[in-house]
Amino acid sequence: MILENPTTTILAFLAVIVLLFWLIAKAKWHVFLALLVPILLFALVPGVNMTEFIDAFATGFGNTVQSIAVVIVLGSLIAEVLKNTGGIEKITQTMVSLVGKKRMPLALTFAGFIIGIAIFSDVGYVILNPLVHGAAIAAGVNMSVMATGLVGAMQLTHAMVPPTPGPLAACAVMGADIGKVILYGSIITFFGSIAGWGYAQIVGPRVVSPPSKEFLGESFIEKGMKLPSTPKAYAPIFVPLILIAGQSVADNVLPEGNFIRTMMEYLGWPVVALLIGVILSYLLVHEDQKKKFTSNWVEDALRTSAMIIVVTGLGGSLSQILKGTPAVDTIANAVAQSGVPAIFLPFVLGVVGNLITGSTTVGVITAASLTAPMLVSLGISPEAGMLAGAAGSIIIKYVNSSYFWVCTSLSRMELKSALISYGGVTLVNGCASMAVVYVLWAMGII
Is 429:192 a contact under the CB 8 Å cutoff? Answer: yes
- pLDDT tens-digit readout, 103-132: 999 999 999 999 988 888 888 888 888 888
d(CA 257, CA 47): 49
* pLDDT of 222 over the 70 cut: no
pLDDT at 284: 86
Q: What number of residues does the chain have?
A: 446
Amino acid at residue number 237: I
Give me the DSSP letters along 90-143. Answer: HHHHHHHHHH-GGGHHHHHHHHHHHHHHHS-HHHHHHHHHHHHHHHHHHHT--H
Is 117:161 a contact under the CB 8 Å cutoff? Answer: yes
The domain ranges of the chain are 6-442
Is 93:227 a contact under the CB 8 Å cutoff? Answer: yes
Burial of 442 (0-12, 13-18, 19+ CB in 10 A): exposed
Determine the 3-state secondary structure of 35 from DSSP: helix
Is pTM beyond 0.85? Reply is no
Burial of 17 (0-12, 13-18, 19+ CB in 10 A): middle
Is 241:117 a contact under the CB 8 Å cutoff? Answer: yes
Amino acid at residue number 348: V
Burial of 27 (0-12, 13-18, 19+ CB in 10 A): exposed
Give me the DSSP letters along 286-334. Answer: -GGGHHHIIIIIHHHHHHHHHHHHHHHHHHHHHHHHHHTSTHHHHHHHH
Is 76:361 a contact under the CB 8 Å cutoff? Answer: no
- pLDDT tens-digit readout, 239-295: 998 999 888 888 888 888 888 989 999 999 989 999 999 999 988 887 777 777 777
Mean pLDDT over 355-371 rounds to 81
d(CA 29, CA 240): 35
pLDDT at 385: 94
d(CA 434, CA 424): 16
d(CA 325, CA 327): 5
- pLDDT tens-digit readout, 76-93: 888 888 888 888 888 888
Helix (H) or strand (E) holding 335: helix 327-338
